Every structure is written in structure tokens, then in C-alpha cells.
Amino acid sequence: MSSSPQSDPDLPSTSPAAAPSHAVSPPLYEWDGLGFETRQVHVGDTDEHGYRARVAPIYLTAGYRFDSYQQSWDRFTGEEPGQLYSRNLNPTHLVAERRIASLEGGTGAIVVGSGQAAITTSLLGLAGAGEHIVSTASIYSGTQILFNRTFARLGVTVGYVWDWTDEAEWDALIRPETKAIFTETIPNPKNDIVDIAAVARVARRHGIPLVVDNTIASPYLTRPIEDGADIVIHSSTKFLAGHGAGLSGVIVDGGRFDWAGSSRSYPGITDPVAPGKPSMLETHGASALEAYLRLGIVNDIGPALSPLNSFLLQQGIETLSLRMARHVDSAHAIAHWLREQPEVGRVDYAGLADNPLHELAQRVYRGRPGSIFAFSLAGGRAAAEVFYDALRIFSRMTNIGDTRSMALPVSATTHVSFSQEHRDRLGIDDGLIRLSIGLETVDDLIADLRHALDAVADAGL
């Protein structure tokens, strides 16, 4: 008769292990005070459901059960936090939201379907019909189109400051009905960086929240909340995710703006959410804006992020610091190389010593202001067309912040709907090419650019 596996001396014992005589430390779930790289890997990762999964699962569910009548009421009014509907909150999203909020230094975050959705949600949460926003003029073209077309149809007007260093220009545009100031840390495509602390001083003097798009810098290079911003936005499709596999956007609440003390009205935050119920500010305190946007604007408009894309975003964040260091170092080298090429008329990169914003780039970015910049071919549009068609490693496509390097002729694509006068004022000439520097070997990228410039030279342009 054969022996059972349990009695075979050659097999490992299946009896329960004896309890250790020493203390066993539980996993760490509180990451405040730890380093950036540690937090980008771990924040938000909890074992709330007890399954011990090391990677947070994807929750493909539209809705969630309520325990009682009372809980359903409290969830809908925002008095009790928790799952309501995947249009505004999904367990998969919590990891990315907590992680990005930690990296940016905010009280909380909300992930949505795209960067445009993040901008729309934030600003329509602050301004309505008959009200006003002031923005710096050099911002992403899609944001300008959003402001000038869709916001205008909704009755929200936008005024543009062309020189953000001129406080008189700000003062001339800000009105009693102005409800927000908007800017970008590193504007796309010309790398004309903004001193967020200076703009924040204007916002504070007027008692207006400052909304900052930090997509191109990412929290690895700068954290606008530390410089006085109240809300930070990302198209997290870009550097936060880094792989180009899915769209997403994020809104970070800085938790610092004095909503009750402002001379301007923000009723969604300060008014009761329902008869007999307190306001978002009374219930949520420093996280009132996040709660209002999540339960109000995000719930109403419905820019829901797919749980799958949320999962992909989490995976990208874990390597943010490693990728950003490589992106920026390669961009720095390529911008300096392009500056010396005879076919190139101008390189718009604040890290160059002859750039007017070089001192600010040194102070804020240690001379390496991101990896998205533009350069202009001396031969104009004809040269740009030959150059662009000769690229072999750089992908000819829209998008930025990917592992792959990309190029785009600006006046023929992102700014094609702008008037010539507007393009001229922004410095968008017909020879301008935007580059997004990826993670390839930098010598290979330079060789590809040289190959395309040789094609321009061979064409006599």
C-alpha cells in the first residue's frame, strides 16, 4: 500500500507553520514624508478588500450596492464618502487619484476621460454663463479652441494676457465676474515657461483661484501647488502614463483656497447641496472642491474614465521619475544640437543660454525645462514639408509625452484654424516643428534629425 503524500519524507510538510517568535511588521500604507520615487510606486495601494493582490485590480462595474436607504441618501448628498456610480468614482481610480495627489502635494484628485475633460470640469465648476476667466495667451491650442468655441457658446468668456510679467495687463483684464485664472507651467509648443509664483501673487491679490496645467512638466519637474496654485490639471495621457496606450486626465485639489472668504461667489462649494443638508465646504473642508467637482460637475457632464485606462495610468506613474530624467536630458542635448545646424533658424527652448526665459529655466527647472519644444526651419513651409516627410525614427503624429519621439508641423496641424495674425503673435511661423523627445538612444534621434535636415539642404531650401 502506497503512503499518502502527507507521510512521504521526501515531500515538504503541509502542516501549518508555527507562529514566529519575533514581531512581523505589517505592510506600510501611510507614505507621507517618504521620497518622490517611493510614493510614485506605492501611494494608494491598499488591501481594502483583503485579497492581498499586489497590483490593484480593475473593477469593471457600473454601480454599487447601498447598505440602506440612509446610506443612499448620504452618498448622493456627499455626506458619506464612498462608491456611488462609476461615472464619478470607481475603486480602480482610487490608486491613481491618491498617488497623483501625493506627488503634486494636493488634498485629493479626480481622474477623468482626458486632459480636455479635466480642464472643462475644473473651469465650468468655477465659472458659469455671464462669468469670466483670464488665461495666459500661450497655451495649448486645443485649450484655446475649447475656450473660444465651446466656452463661448456656454456664455463663459475668456480674456488673454500676452505678457504674464505685466501686472497692469492682468489688472486690466480681471473683472468682478472673473472666477478663475488659468495658465500652464510649460506651454506647448514653444516652451515659453511661466513663473507660477508670480501669477499666483496676482490671483491672491484679486482673491481668485489659480488653475495650472502641469502636463508637460509633471510633478517630477515642478509642483505648482507649492508655488501658490489652487488646482492642478494634467492630460495624464502624456507623461504621467507615458506609454500612449490610453487617454486620461486628472484634476488635483490644492485644498488651500478660501472659498468662504472670497469676495466672489462659488455656490457649488458654499451653498447647501440639498434642503436640510450642509454645503460641500462644511462637510469636506479642505477637500470641498474635489467633492463638489466629483459629485457635481463630473457626475453631471459624465467624462468618465475607463477602469482599464485608469489601470494603465497607474502602471505608468510607477516609472515617472526614471522616464522624465531621460526625456529631459535627451531634449536638452537635442535642443543644443539643433541650435548649431545651419538649416535651423530658431530653437524655442528655455534651456538655451540665449533664450529670454533662460534665467527662469535655471531657477525653476535647473536649465532643463521639459522635453517638448519647437524649432523653426529657415526655409519656411517648403523646408518644413521636406524635413517632416524625411523623418524615419521620429513618428509623424500628434500627441506628446510618449516613450516614442514625435514631430508635428505646428501651423499645418494644431494651429491650422487660427488666423495668420494670431499665429504671428504667438510666434507660430510656417517652418515651426514641434518635437516630443522620447526614450530612444539620443544619438539615433540626432542622426534622424540630421538625415531630415540633409533632405532640406539637398532640396536647396
Instruction: Give the per-residue pLDDT at 10.
Output: 55
Question: Could you say which of 3.90.1150.10, 3.10.20.30, 3.30.930.10, 3.40.630.30 is the CATH number of the domain covering 321-458?
Answer: 3.90.1150.10
Tell me if 409 sits within 8 A of 380, measured CB to CB. Answer: no
Please state, as a whole number, how many other Cβ atoms lie within 10 Å of the Cβ of residue 10: 5
Q: How far is 324 from 253, CA to CA, in rounded Å?
A: 23
Query: What are the start and end residues of each CATH 3.40.640.10 domain in the chain?
Result: 42-317
Q: What is the pLDDT of residues 173-182, one digit of tens each?
A: 999 999 999 9
Question: What grid cell was written down for 89?
Answer: 468614482
Instruction: Give the per-residue pLDDT at 11.
Output: 52
Q: Span 342-359, mean pLDDT?
A: 97
| Torsion, CA 270, CA 273, CA 277, CA 279, rounded to 10 | -20
Please state, as a whole number, how many other Cβ atoms lie within 10 Å of the Cβ of residue 102: 21
CA distances 281 to 63, 74, 78, 121, 288, Å, are 26, 15, 11, 18, 5
Question: CA Rg, the chain, in Å?
Answer: 25
**Residue 30 CB contacts under 8 Å (≥ 6 apart), including other chains:** none
Please state, as a whole number, how many other Cβ atoms lie within 10 Å of the Cβ of residue 286: 15
Instruction: Give the per-residue pLDDT at 384.
Output: 98
Q: Model confidence at 77, in pLDDT bands (50, 70, 90)?
A: confident
Q: Model confidence at 2, in pLDDT bands (50, 70, 90)?
A: very low
Task: Report the chain's mean pLDDT, rounded to a whole number.
Answer: 94
Q: Count H helices, E strands: the chain?
A: 19, 12
Q: What is the pLDDT of residues 373-408, one digit of tens each?
A: 999 999 999 999 999 999 999 999 999 999 999 999
Q: Span 11-23, mean pLDDT?
A: 69
> Locate cell 468618465: which residue?
304
Q: Report long-range pairs for 148-153 (Cβ below 8 Å, ≥24 apart).
A: 150/120, 151/123, 151/124
Least confident piece of the model among 24-33, 112-121, 168-177:
24-33
Please provide the CATH number assigned to the domain covering 42-317: 3.40.640.10
Q: Which residue would you say has higher pLDDT here, 87 or 102?
A: 102
Q: Model confidence at 159, in pLDDT bands (50, 70, 90)?
A: very high
Instruction: Give the per-residue pLDDT at 95.
Output: 93
Longest dimension (CA), the chain: 97
Question: In 340-458, where does DSSP find H-type helix?
Answer: 358-365, 380-390, 420-426, 442-458
Please state, as a whole number, how many other Cβ atoms lie within 10 Å of the Cβ of residue 412: 14
| % of the chain residues with pLDDT over 70 | 95
Residue 417 confidence (pLDDT) above 50: yes
Q: Model confidence at 307, in pLDDT bands (50, 70, 90)?
A: very high
Instruction: Give the per-residue pLDDT at 17.
Output: 63
Q: Span 206-231, mean pLDDT?
A: 98
Q: Span 260-280, mean pLDDT?
A: 93
Q: What is the pLDDT of residues 440-459, one digit of tens each?
A: 999 999 999 999 999 999 99
Type of residue numbered 26: P
Q: How far is 423 from 401, CA to CA, in rounded Å?
A: 24
Q: How far is 416 from 8, CA to CA, in rounded Å?
A: 77
Query: What are the start and end residues of each CATH 3.90.1150.10 domain in the chain?
Result: 321-458
